[in-house]
Amino acid sequence: MNARQAGPYWLSAPALAVYAAFLVVPLASIGLISFQHFEFYGGIQPGLTLENYRAVLGDSYYWEIFGRTFAIAVLVTFFCAVLGTLEAIVLYRMADPWRSLFLLVVLGPLLISVVVRTLGWALLFGSTGLINKAFLTLGIISEPIQFMYSTTGVVIALVHVLVPFVVISVWASLQKMDPAVERAAVSLGAGQLTVVRRVIVPLAMPGILAGSVMVFALAASAFATPAIIGGRRLKVIATAAYDEFLNTLNWPLGASLAILLLLANVVLLYASNRLIERRYKAVFAESAA
Amino acid sequence: MSKNNPLALVFHTLFIGFILAPLLIVCVVAFTPLGYISLPTDRLSLRWFAAILDNPRFISAFWLSLGLGAVSSLIATALAIPAALAIARNRFPGRDALSAFLLSPLMIPHIVLGVAFLRFFSSIGINGTFTGLSLGHVIVILPFALRLVLAAATGMDPAIERAAVSLGASRFTVFRRITLPLIFPGIVSGWLLAFITSFDELTMSVFIANPSTTTLPVRMFLQIQDTIDPMVAAVSALLIAGTLVLMLVLDRMVGLERLFVGKSRRG
């Protein structure tokens, strides 16, 4: 190999070295201890065992946590997909300067710390109780809803944290759409609703799916929002792993939880990427042309 | 293109209200004159902003996060630039695998990175140190810097560089006078996004920070878990204000939608 061919490898060598030392090795070591035995008075023991996985997968306590995490992720994904897609279509149909302004309003919160955004919901739900007060005054509900320390509260706050990802992803799909298609549908006599349902949504589907997959992965591994809104009792996988590592100090057990979460995440993201790419190859090819 | 009907605009108003409500309530509560969480009714007060200045734990956490963000985003960007140029301008075996590998931290839940770093850094004795935090943050934020530099480098016309070479410029001169200025907007926006991501990171840092190296999000998280008081709201209000400024800068430079989609279009 001459110098010219070796060039790209040399250029990426520093980043690769850092990744090898500080990403691959730590992940491998956490994978390793998930197969090791833990003693309360002796710490992590040498030798490999499946007992942590057996303990996690054979305990109804953990299945409840898996079930809750999955249910929250499904609900959050559903609401984000519906609300995010509708908002992206509304934004797409706006004219500047409103379009740019509201795009900024919707995407901007992604740059604000999740802790700050979740604190906002904790204030609305709990301390000031503003949402319940407003709903009671408007007569929407007859008695206060328990948002804090409830799945409802966690789902609402997570939808707020994650919905911008669907908006941006659908928005990107809509940008590739030929406006003539929509005009053609209208000229053939399609109503507003038909245009959205039969033309815009199908064309935006790759974006809707890609955004939803991302939201699902992030919701299933979310930590700050479930920890603050859900509290100690409403545990999800991420907060359970946190407790094993920093409170119980059973690292091998916590590691097996983390590894299961990682595997689920990687399988989901990889499989869905393949699926979306294959299913919508035609759409991508068309829009690239 | 058809216009939005009234129903769509009602939905839009509710949606924007939903997005802004939690941010607005934080800013309103921050101005309460009372000693507990409440909505200011008759007058506004700055007492909780003043209280931050008397709280050394928040002040030192802020400086730590600022320093950590600066150091880790500089390292991440410095590593990302050559890698992005290699990927954008060459066809070589393993190119796709390389870019997928360098972007892979985006696919790993931060909680997993947190426990992995906790284990690894403890075993090499740098857990809870500034070095450990910086290394962890570099891994988490490098993909963001890489994506934006990559987009800028891909959008560059290679003919310009060839023209410079044909006019007798050395390789270094080409890099310094042609390549660097052309991808500079991508570098700056990549660096800024990396900085913000580092500054906001909680889930991974909560594992590898110790009481003397607590970052601002970790400090706030621990505080909120303990008790929610108006001072946390005041800190949050300041963060929202600061982010707003950075957001406008980034929007001017690349457009927020491109920042998050990261498609290889021209910066």
Closest-CA distance, A279 to chain B, in angstroms, reads 20
pLDDT of residue B119 exceeding 90, the answer is yes
Split into its structural domains, chain B has a count of 1
pLDDT of residue B134 exceeding 70, the answer is yes
- Does B46 map to a domain? no
Closest residue in A to B208 (Cα) is: A246
- Give chain B as a DSSP string: -PPPPHHHHHHHHHHHHHHHHHHHHHHHHTT--SSSS----S----HHHHHHHT-HHHHHHHHHHHHHHHHHHHHHHHHHHHHHHHHHH---TTHHHHHHHHHGGGGS-HHHHHHHHHHHHHHTT-TTSHHHHHHHHHHHHHHHHHHHHHHHHHTS-HHHHHHHHHTT--HHHIIIIIIHHHHHHHHHHHHHHHHHHHHH--TTHHHH--GGG--HHHHHHHHHHH---HHHHHHHHHHHHHHHHHHHHHHHHT-HHHHHH--S---
- Does B92 map to a domain? yes
In this complex, the residue of B21, B109, B236 whose CB is nearest that of residue A221 is B109
Calculate what percentage of chain A has a pLDDT beyond 70.
94
**Lowest-confidence range among A251-265, B68-82, B246-260?**
B246-260
Rounded to 5 degrees, φ, ψ at B137 are: -65, -35
Whose tokens are 């946390």? That residue is B232
Q: How big is the A-B interface in CB pairs under 8 Å?
A: 271
Q: Residue A248 CA to chain centroid, in angstroms?
A: 27
Query: Looking at residue B261, what is its pLDDT?
Result: 65
Cβ contact B90–A114 (<8 Å)? no
Closest-CA distance, A60 to chain B, in angstroms, reads 22
B178 touches A at CB < 8 Å: no
pLDDT of residue A284 exceeding 60, the answer is no
Cβ contact A11–B5 (<8 Å)? no
Confidence band for A1, pLDDT divided at 50, 70 and 90: very low
Helix (H) or strand (E) holding A81: helix A60-92
- Does B45 map to a domain? no
Query: Looking at residue B265, what is its pLDDT?
Result: 35
Contacts of A87 in chain B (CB under 8 A): 11-12, 15
Closest-CA distance, B247 to chain A, in angstroms, reads 7
Query: Looking at residue A240, what is its pLDDT?
Result: 93
Whose tokens are 């991501």? That residue is B197
Q: pLDDT tens for residues A56-95?
A: 999 999 999 999 999 999 999 999 999 999 999 999 989 8
Contacts of A266 in chain B (CB under 8 A): 107-108
SS3 A47: coil
pLDDT of residue B122 exceeding 90, the answer is yes
Residue with the larger pLDDT of the pair A24 and A134: A24
In the CATH hierarchy, which top-level class contains the domain A66-235?
mainly alpha
- Does B117 map to a domain? yes
Closest-CA distance, B112 to chain A, in angstroms, reads 5
Q: pLDDT tens for residues A230-270?
A: 988 899 999 999 998 888 888 999 999 999 999 999 999 88
Cβ contact B26–A11 (<8 Å)? no
Residue type, A241: A
pLDDT of residue A216 exceeding 90, the answer is yes
- Does B121 map to a domain? yes
**Strand partners of residue A45:** A37
Cβ contact B85–A116 (<8 Å)? no
Query: Looking at residue B26, what is its pLDDT?
Result: 93
Query: Looking at residue B246, what is its pLDDT?
Result: 87
Query: Looking at residue A128, what is its pLDDT?
Result: 65
Confidence band for A224, pLDDT divided at 50, 70 and 90: very high
Query: Looking at residue A183, what is its pLDDT?
Result: 85
Closest residue in B to A12 (Cα) is: B83
Query: Looking at residue B90, what is its pLDDT?
Result: 83
B165-177 mean pLDDT: 88
In this complex, the residue of B112, B120, B135 whose CB is nearest that of residue A262 is B112
Residue B23 to residue B26: CA distance in whole angstroms: 5
pLDDT of residue B264 exceeding 50, the answer is no
Query: Looking at residue A179, what is its pLDDT?
Result: 81
Candidate ranges A136-150, A174-188, B127-141; pick with highest mean pLDDT: B127-141
Query: Looking at residue A283, what is its pLDDT?
Result: 56
Closest-CA distance, B43 to chain A, in angstroms, reads 17
Residue B29 to residue B240: CA distance in whole angstroms: 13
B158 touches A at CB < 8 Å: no
Query: Looking at residue B263, what is its pLDDT?
Result: 45
Please state the domain extents for chain A: 66-235
Query: Looking at residue A29, what is its pLDDT?
Result: 93
Confidence band for A191, pLDDT divided at 50, 70 and 90: confident
Residue with the larger pLDDT of the pair B24 and A147: B24
Q: Residue B255 CA to chain centroid, in angstroms?
A: 15
Per the structure, the complete domain to which residue B71 belongs is given by 55-261
Residue A144 to residue A192: CA distance in whole angstroms: 38
How confident is the prediction for chain A on average, in pLDDT? Answer: 88
Confidence band for A5, pLDDT divided at 50, 70 and 90: low
B52-79 mean pLDDT: 95
pLDDT of residue B266 exceeding 70, the answer is no
* Residue A266, both tokens: 């990687």
Residue A143 to residue A140: CA distance in whole angstroms: 9
Cβ contact B203–A171 (<8 Å)? no
pLDDT of residue A4 exceeding 60, the answer is no
Confidence band for A214, pLDDT divided at 50, 70 and 90: very high
Confidence band for B162, pLDDT divided at 50, 70 and 90: confident
